[in-house]
Amino acid sequence: MQVYDTTLRDGAQREGLTYSVADKLAVAKLLDEFGVGFIEGGWPGAMPKDVEFFRRAREELEFQHAILVAFGMTRKAGVHVEDDALIKGLIDAQTPAVALVAKSDLRHVLRALRTTPEENLAMVADSVAYFVANGRRVFLDCEHFFDGFRYDPDYTTSVVKAGLDAGAEIAVMCDTNGGMLPSQVTKAVAEVCARLGVSPDRLGIHTQNDTSCAVANTVAAVEAGVRHFQGTANGYGERPGNADLFACVANLQLKLGLPVLPDGCLEQMVRVSHAIAEIANIAPDTHQAYTGSAAFAHKAGLHASAIKHDPALYNHIDPAVVGNDMKILVTEMAGRASIELKSKELGLDLAGRPDVATKVTEEVKQREAAGWSYEAADASFELLVRDALGGGPAPFTLESYRVIVEHREDGAVVSEATVKVRVKGERVIATAEGNGPVNALDEALRQALTRHYASLATLELADYKVRILEGSHGTGAITRVLVETVDSRGGDWTTVGVHENVVEASWRALVDALTFGLVRVPA
C-alpha cells in the first residue's frame, strides 16, 4: 500500500493557509514520523518558495520512512520536453520521484489547454518517458479523471494508457471537482481496468471533499483494488478540502486490516495531526474522526455507565491505538501512558516514576482546560516534565517587566521594554527597544541574561503565532502564543504561553524558549 501525502502542495491551497519554508520542513518531519511513504513537497518549477524548500530539504531532512516528491505538470504544447522550464525545475529539485499532472478530461484539453487530443497524449508520454529516462519514479495525476471518464471514457482511458505505457509507476484517478460518490468510484475503477487490461494496483486515487465523501471514496477505491491513495493532513485543501490522510489510514488499517503504516506509527496520529494544525495556525477540529478531542467523548449517562464496565461498549476502537484518549462528560482523560510515551521520546523516562507521571498528567489536563496546548510545543512540555522531576533551580527568575508602546506624531511606532530579573543571585535590570512589544521584551531579556549565559547569543526568535482561543471574545479574550526559536549551532524548538493579556502570554512563551535553550546548552 502506498500512502502518498500532499499536505504541502494540495493541502496548502486551503483558504487562509500559508506555510513558510521552515513550516514546510517541520510538517515534512512530522509526516515522516507518522510513516507515510511519499511526501509531495510542492511545485518547484512554479513557486520560488518551493525551490528553496527542496534545496533545504536535501540538506536538512533525513527521512526514516518517506520519499520526497516534486510536483509539476507535463510539458507545454508545442515545446520539446528538454526545453520546458517547468520540467527543468522538477529535474533541479533532485527528488527521487515526481508527480506530473495531466489533463484527462477532453473538454479541458480543448478549452483549457487549447490543444489537440493527440498533442495532449504526446505531452503525457514525452514527459513521463523523460523523467523515467532520468531515473525518476513517476506518478501521473490524471486531473478531472472521473468527470472526463463519464464524458468520454475512451479518451480518458487513453491518457491513462499513455502514461503507463511511457513508464509511469501509478496513474492516479483524480476527483478534482470532488463530485463523486463511493459507488461511482468503484464502478469507474472496474471499468478502466477492464478497458486497459491492467490490474487496479497500477491505479491511484486522489479525492476532494465537495460531497463530504472524500474518505469514503478513497476507501471504495482501495476496496476495488487500488493500492496508492493520496490525502492531506486533517483534510486541508481547496474548497471543502481533500481526503483526510488520518481518517483514510485509520480506516484502511484498522477496519480493512491492510498494512498501511510501519509498526509503531499509527499511535502517533493524534500528536502529528495536532502539531500540523498548530504549525498551520488552524485550531484542531475537535470533532475530527480519530484525532479530534471529541472523537471518543461520552456525555450521556447511559454511555458513562456502560463504559465503567467496558470502554469497548461505546468506542469503535481503543482510542490509544491512534494516540487519542477517551473523554467522560467534560473531563478529558489525558492518559498517563501518553505522558510517559512522549516523555520517553524526549529522553525523560518516567516508567519508574508513577508519581511524577501522575503529577504531570494532572497538570497537563488542568492547563489544557485553561487553553494551553503542548501538541506543537515539545520544549514547553519537556520543561514541565523536568520541573516535575526536580530539575533544579530556574536559570533566572522575574522580578517585573514593563512594556511601553509609543505612537508618535509622525506615525512612527516605538516599543520599549524593561525587565528586572534575578540571575545567579544578582539583580539585573535591562532596557531595550524593538519593532513591537514582544520583540522589545525578547531583546531586553536577552540583554539581561547574556552576560551570565553567553550561549543565548546564538538563539533567534524564528516564528511567532497568536491564536484567540475558541469560546473567548473581544479584546479581553484568552490568547495562546507559540514561539519558535532556532539555534545557529543547530536545532529548533517551540514553546507556548497562554494568558488573557497577549504580552504576558508572549512573555511566558519567551521565558520557556530561553530556558529550554539553556537546558540544551547551559554555558
* pLDDT score, position 307: 54
Would you state the pLDDT for residue 278?
93
Tell whether the model's pLDDT for residue 334 goes beyond 50. Answer: no
Instruction: Compute the average pLDDT of residues 436-441.
Output: 92
Superfamily in which the 2-280 domain is placed by CATH: Aldolase class I (3.20.20.70)
| Per-residue pLDDT band at 358 (split at 50, 70, 90) | confident
Q: What's the pLDDT band for 269 if we cut at 50, 70, 90?
A: very high
Q: Give the model's confidence band at 411: pLDDT under 50 very low, under 70 low, under 90 confident, else very high.
A: confident
Strands (E), 46-169: 67-73, 97-103, 137-143
The stretch 49-55 carries a mean pLDDT of 96
Helices (H), 327-468: 336-345, 354-369, 378-388, 437-449
pLDDT at res. 24? 97
Question: What is the value of pTM for the model shown?
Answer: 0.67
pLDDT at 475: 54
Secondary structure of residue 371 in the 3-state scheme: coil
Least confident of 11-25, 239-253, 325-339: 325-339
> Cα-flanking dihedrals φ and ψ of residue 515, to 5°?
-60, -45
Contacts of 484 (CB under 8 A, 6+ apart): 22, 461, 462, 463, 464, 492, 493, 494
330 band by pLDDT with thresholds 50, 70 and 90: very low
Question: What residue segments make up the domains of the chain, in order of their start?
Answer: 2-280, 296-333, 396-452
User: What's the 3-state SS for 473-513?
Assistant: CHHHCCEEEEEEEEECCCCEEEEEEEECCHHHHHHHHHHHH
Q: Looking at residue 333, what is its pLDDT?
A: 40
Write down the mean pLDDT value for the chain. Answer: 91
> What stretches of 232-302 adopt beta strand conformation (E)?
297-298
User: Residue 463's beta-bridge partner residues?
Assistant: 484
Residue 301: its pLDDT value, please? 42
pLDDT reading at 211 higher than 50: yes
- Give the Cα separation of 137 and 168 in Å (integer): 7
* Of the candidate ranges 138-147, 304-313, 397-406, the one whose mean pLDDT is the lowest: 304-313
- Domain 396-452 -> CATH class: alpha beta
| 352 confidence band (pLDDT: 50, 70, 90) | confident
Output the nine-digit C-alpha cell for 147.
468527470
- In the numeric block, the cell 477505491 is attached to 221
